[in-house]
Chains A and B, each alone.
Chain A
Amino acid sequence: MKKNSLQNRLRQSQMNLFYIPALVLFSVFVIYPFIKGIFISTTNWNGYSQNYKSVGIKNYLRLFTDKNVRTALINTLIYGFGSTLIQNALGLALALFLNEKFRGRSVLRAIIYMPVMIAPLIMGYIMYFLFSYNRGALNDIVMLFGGEAVDWMANGPRAVMLMTLVNALQFVGISMVIYLAGLQNIPAMYYEAAALDGVKPFAQFRYITLPLLHPAVTSAVTVNLIGGLKLYDIISALTSGGPGYASHSLSTLVHRTYFGAENAGYASAIGLFTFLLIMVISSIVTRILAAKEVEVS
C-alpha cells in the first residue's frame, strides 16, 4: 500500500515536469512584465528614453485626483456591467428560443454567433460607417423618416452607451452558446415531471431552468464581465476615446497615456489599477455566483 502511494507520488512528480514550459512562458510574458510594470509605475519614464528617475508613489496619488481617470473608470464599469447585462439577458433569451426544435435553427445559431468571429477592431470600423454623421447608415434611416441627422458619437455619454451596445451585440453569441450548452444538460425528465404536475411554462423556467443554469450563468457572466471591463478595440475604432477623454476606458487610457502623452510611469500605474479592479470585481462576482450554485445544488 505504502509502496503504491510512493510510486504514485513519483509518477506525479515526473508529470509535473511538463508544467515547466508553460511556467517559463508565463514567467517571461506575464510575471516579468508585471513586476517590471510595478517598477515603471514608480518612475517618470517617458516610455522610450534611457533616462528616468524615481517619483515614489506620486503616480498612484495622481490617480485619485485625475478627472480623466475618474471618467475612464466610470466608463469602464458601464462597459463591463452594461455589456454583461445585455449579453446575458439577450443570450439567455436567444438560447431558450434556439433550444426549441424548428427548421433553420442551426443556421440562425450560426448567424448569431458569426459576429464573434470578426475582430473587434473591424467591427468598430464597420460600426463607424453606421454611426457617421455624413452618410452614416443610421442617419440615412433617420432622414428617410424626415428626422435630422445626429452626430451620434459627439456626445460622450451617448457614445459610451452605443459602444456598450455594439460590444454586447457582437459577443452575445458567446453567452448564447454557453446557455445552450447549459440548457442541453438539463435532463428532460424534470420538465416531463413538471408538466405532469401541471406546472406552467414560466414556472418551469423559474424553478427548473434558471436554478440548473447557474453554472452556465457563472461562466457567461465572468467571461462577459472581464471582456467588457477591458474593452479596447471598439473604442479605438469608433471614437479613439473622444470627444476629449469622454469615452475612454481604462485600457484605452493606458495606451493614450503611455504612447500619446509619453507618460509610461503614470500609464503603468493606471494599468496596475485596472488589473486590480478587474481582479477584485471578477473574483467578487464569481464568488457570489459560485455561492448561489452551492445553494442550488
Chain B
Amino acid sequence: MKKILCLLLALVMVMGMFAACGDTDETPATNAPVSDETKAADDATEAQVGSNSDVVLTFMTNVVGEKATALEAAIRDFEAETGYTVEFSAPGDSYEELMKTKMASNELPDVFTTHGWSVARYSEYLMPVNDMDFASRISDQIKPVITDAEGNMYVLPIDIDIAGMVYNVDVLESCGINVDDLTTWEAFADACAVIEAAGIDPMHIGGKDTWTIGQFFDWVAPSFYVTDEANSKAADLKAGTFDTAVWTELCQMLYDWTEAGYFNTDVLTADYSSDIEALATGTTAFCFYGNYAISDAMVVNADANLGMMPIPSNSADDEPTLIAGEDIAIGIWKDTAYSAEAQELLEYLARPEVCAKIAEAAGNAAGLTDVTVDLGVIQTYLDKYNTVETFAYFDREYLPSGMWDVMCSTGAEILALNSGSVEDAASVMEQSFMDKYVG
C-alpha cells in the first residue's frame, strides 16, 4: 500500500512539473485602452468583438524606444478595433538571438519584424504578401530590397531606411569643409586630415559594441565592390566569388586612417552612446550610421546642427551613393494559426494614418507610396539627395548570412593596429564567405 502511495506521489509530482511547463488555455487580458468610438459601437459590433476575444496573436519586434512606442500604440488601437489580443514584445538587444532559437525550433511569433533580413534569413518562415491589398502601394525604392528571386515579397515595409553618412554641420563649417566636395574617399581623407589638425576626431566608432565596426564596412564596401558599374563585383559575389584583393584594399584604408588618428582614441572601448554624444556635442565630425543617429543625437543635444551626406565613391569615375534598406518591416509566420487575423493586422498597420505615425517615429520616409511623413531636418537632406543612386546594405545583399560578425571582429583587429591584421581580415573574410556561401 505504502509503495503504491509513494509511486502515486512521485507520479503526481512529475505530472505537476509538466503541467507547470505546459501551455495555458487562458486568454491573457488585454490592457488596451478602449476608445470612445468603440464604446459607442452598436450591439452587433460588440458581439463580433466578443467572438474575436479568443484570438491571441503574438507580435515580436527588434525595435526599441520611440519606434517601439509608436508600434505598440498602433497595435493597441488595432486591439480596440477588432477585439483581438496582441501580445506585443520588444526584447531589444536579444531579439536576434531569440528569433534564431525560435527558428531553430520552428516556433515563431505570428507576426514579427525582420530587421533587414526578410529575404535572406526569414523568407523560408514567412508568408508572401504579394496578394495583400497594401502590396500594390509598396514604394518602388524598397521593392527590390524586399523581393526574392521568385518575385515574392514577405513583409509590409512601414518605412525605408535611406542612409548616408551623418555629420556635424558646425564642425565641418568651422573647418571650412563643404560636404558636396567629399565625393571620393581620397577627398574625404583630406578633409579628415584638416579636422584632425583642428583637434577634433574626424570619425567616431564605439567599437566595444562591435556592431558599430561592422557599420563601417557596410557603409564603405559598396563603393569598393558594387557602385562602380564598370568594375562591379556584384555578379561575382552573388555567384560565390569573393575578391580578397579588394577587401585588402578596403581594410588597408581603415588601417591607414586609424594610424593617422582619424578615429577617436577609445575606438575599441567606446560604445554607440559615446558616438552619439560625440556627434551631438561636436567632438567628432562623421559617424557611419543611418538617420536614426540624428534623432538620437537630437535627444542628447536639441541644438545640435546635424546633417546627412551621400557616401563617397572609391574612384573619381564613380558617383557618391546612398544605402537603402528595410527598417521596420513586418511579416507573418507562414505556419501561424491566425493567418487571416495576422493579415488583418498588417492591413491595419498599412493604413496611411497608422503607417505615417510609425514611420515618423522612426525618422524615415514611409515604405508605402500614399503615405506622407514629416521628417523635419532629415527631410531636407532626403530631398536634396533624392536623385542619388541607392544600394542595398552590403552584408544583407552580397554576403552570406553570418558574415556580419566576421566583419566586426576582423575590423576590431585592424582598429587595434595589430600587425598583419589587414591580410588576416581579408583571408578570414574569404574563408568565411566560402564556408557560408550557399549557391
Contacts and interface: CB of A to CB of B under 8 A. Distances in A.
Interface in A51-81: none
A133 B100 contact: no
B409 interface: yes
B409 to A, nearest CB: 6
A280 interface: no
B17 interface: yes
A266 to B, nearest CB: 10
Contacts of B104: 47-48
A153 B100 contact: no
Contacts of A49: 103, 124
A243 interface: yes
Contacts of A260: 404-405, 408
Contacts of A50: 106, 124
B269 interface: yes
B17 A261 contact: no
Interface stretch (B3-11, B217-225, B321-329, B341-349): B3-11
Contact of A153 (B99, B269, B409): B269
Contact of B266 (A20, A154, A244, A256): A154
A10 B409 contact: no
A211 to B, nearest CB: 44
A204 interface: no
B410 to A, nearest CB: 8
A120 to B, nearest CB: 17
A239 B208 contact: yes
A272 B13 CA distance: 32
A245 B10 contact: no
B260 interface: no
Contacts of B100: 47-48, 259, 262
B412 A261 contact: no
B415 interface: yes
B401 A262 contact: yes
B119 to A, nearest CB: 14
Interface string B374-414: 00000000000000000000000000011011101110110
A131 B402 CA distance: 31
B14 A20 contact: yes
A240 interface: yes
Interface stretch (A11-19, A169-177, A189-197, A222-230): A11-19
A10 B103 CA distance: 48
A243 B406 contact: no
B436 A243 contact: no
A133 B266 contact: yes
Contact of B405 (A15, A25, A133, A261): A261
Contact of A243 (B106, B265, B415): B415
B214 to A, nearest CB: 10
A243 B13 contact: no
B208 A21 contact: no
Contacts of B418: 244
A132 interface: yes
B124 to A, nearest CB: 7
A233 B406 CA distance: 22
A133 B265 contact: yes
Given A18-B10, A48-B101, A151 B266 contact: yes
Interface string A243-287: 111100000000010011111000000000000000000000000
Contacts of A152: 269
Which of A152, A153, A240: most chain B CB closer than 10 A? A240
A262 B402 contact: yes
Interface residues of A, number: 36
A156 to B, nearest CB: 8
B415 A48 contact: no
A243 B412 contact: yes
A8 interface: no
B6 A133 contact: no
B240 to A, nearest CB: 16
A239 B269 contact: yes
A152 B270 CA distance: 11
A205 to B, nearest CB: 43
B30 interface: no
A21 B416 contact: no
A24 B12 CA distance: 13
Contacts of A133: 265-266, 269-270
Interface in A17-54: 17-18, 20-21, 24-25, 46-50
B405 A151 contact: no
B363 to A, nearest CB: 26
Contacts of A182: none
Nearest to A48: B103
Contacts of B99: 48
Contacts of A20: 10, 13-14
10 contacts: A14-B2, A46-B401, A49-B124, A50-B106, A134-B266, A240-B208, A240-B209, A242-B207, A243-B412, A244-B410
8 closest Cβ pairs, A-B complex: A262-B402, A260-B405, A133-B266, A48-B103, A48-B100, A244-B412, A243-B268, A17-B10
Interface of A: 10, 13-15, 17-18, 20-21, 24-25, 46-50, 131-134, 151-154, 239-240, 242-246, 256, 259-263
Interface of B: 2-3, 6-7, 9-10, 13-14, 17, 96-97, 99-101, 103-104, 106, 121, 124, 207-210, 265-266, 268-270, 274, 401-402, 404-406, 408-410, 412-413, 415-416, 418, 432, 436
Given A21-B13, A134-B266, 10 more contacts: A17-B6, A131-B269, A133-B270, A151-B269, A153-B269, A240-B209, A244-B410, A244-B416, A259-B97, A260-B404
